[in-house]
Amino acid sequence: MMIATLPPYVTWVFVGATLATVAIYLAAVRASSGRVVITAGAILFLLAVHGGLAAGGFYLVKTIPPRFPLAPLPSILLLLGLAALTRPTPLSARALRMLVLLSIVRVPVELVLLWLSQHGDVPQLMTFEGRNLDVLSGLSAPIVAWLAFRGGRINRPLLAAWHLAALALLVNIVTIAVLSLETPIQQLAFEQPNRGLLYFPFIWLPAVIVPIVFISHVMSLWSLAVSSASQHGRQPPAMASVPRR
């Protein structure tokens, strides 16, 4: 099912943000010598399955336990499994940069959440007018991508600090969204619950975009930790040369 009263531009901006998220992530996987074809197939599968379920009203049915966790959890597990298949070496500088730039998509996503809130489909708490500061990750991403790779070197402490902060902001909005759903554990936004994300195509936010963004932080932090450990005693762990293209 779709939200009939929603202006078309909201849907199209969201679809564009979803496609941009997938495209940038796949480019980062390719840059890290990952399995691009199987990853692309898995993401297309997730888009199709969750899109079809939401279009049929699957997530709108109130059950115990609620059906909403079926959107993000299997996606996170599947994509994490595929990420683990990547060769066990630190990500390339290009892949690290792209995983930072991926968070730019959080800006249009936050605009979509604001529009959904204005139409009564999600609570204001889930927007940057409420308790959601996730837009800061998107706005800061290009700045961090520039600062962290200046002068042909990688500023690893800056990258690690930014990924941890952005991950914390992601956990914050996910928590707000879950506690705003009309479920037995609802704690927030009783006057305007989180319903919009249960409709097509907005189900792709918890089912595809959030898992990809989450994994982008996990992959980057893992790579930075592995790289620092492997270089300990040979060069300063904070910096490493960026391979020439």
Q: What is the pLDDT of residues 215-236, one digit of tens each?
A: 999 999 999 998 876 665 444 4
Residue 244 inside a domain? The answer is no
Mean pLDDT value of segment 202-210: 98
Task: Say what the pLDDT of residue 233 is.
Answer: 47
CB 213 within 8 A of CB 134: no
Q: Is 131 helix (H, G, I), strand (E, B) or coil?
A: coil
pLDDT reading at 60 higher than 70? yes
CB 197 within 8 A of CB 174: no
Residue 226 inside a domain? The answer is yes
DSSP bridge partners of 241: 153
Residue 1 inside a domain? The answer is no
Task: Say what the pLDDT of residue 237 is.
Answer: 41
User: Distance between CA atoms of 162 and 169, rounded to whole angstroms?
Assistant: 11
Task: Say what the pLDDT of residue 235 is.
Answer: 45
User: Distance between CA atoms of 230 and 208, rounded to whole angstroms?
Assistant: 32
Q: Lowest mean pLDDT of 3-7, 87-91, 154-158, 202-206, name the range.
A: 87-91
Question: Which residue, among 100, 182, 196, 93, has the nearest Cα to 144 in the 3D structure?
Answer: 100
User: Distance between CA atoms of 243 and 245, rounded to whole angstroms?
Assistant: 6
pLDDT-based confidence at 88, cuts 50/70/90? Answer: low
Count of domains observed in the chain: 1
Residue 215 inside a domain? The answer is yes
Read off the pLDDT of residues 139-190 as tens digits, 9 standing for 90 and up.
999 999 999 999 888 999 999 999 999 999 999 999 999 999 999 999 999 9
pLDDT-based confidence at 87, cuts 50/70/90? Answer: low
Structural domain that includes position 142: 8-231
Residue 30 inside a domain? The answer is yes
Mean pLDDT value of segment 71-83: 93
Question: Quick one: CA dihedral 28, 34, 39, 40, positive or negative?
Answer: positive
CA distances for 124 relative to 5, 14, 170, 211, angstroms: 18, 18, 16, 23
Q: Lowest mean pLDDT of 22-36, 85-99, 126-140, 177-191, name the range.
A: 85-99
User: Distance between CA atoms of 102 and 96, rounded to whole angstroms?
Assistant: 10
Q: What is the overall mean pLDDT for the chain? A: 91
Mean pLDDT value of segment 43-61: 97
CB 126 within 8 A of CB 111: no
Task: Say what the pLDDT of residue 96 is.
Answer: 96
Residue 153 inside a domain? The answer is yes
Read off the pLDDT of residues 119-134 as tens digits, 9 standing for 90 and up.
999 999 999 999 999 9
Residue 84 inside a domain? The answer is yes
Task: Say what the pLDDT of residue 231 is.
Answer: 65
Structure tokens at 206: 């918890």
Whole-prediction pTM value? 0.91
pLDDT reading at 86 higher than 70? no
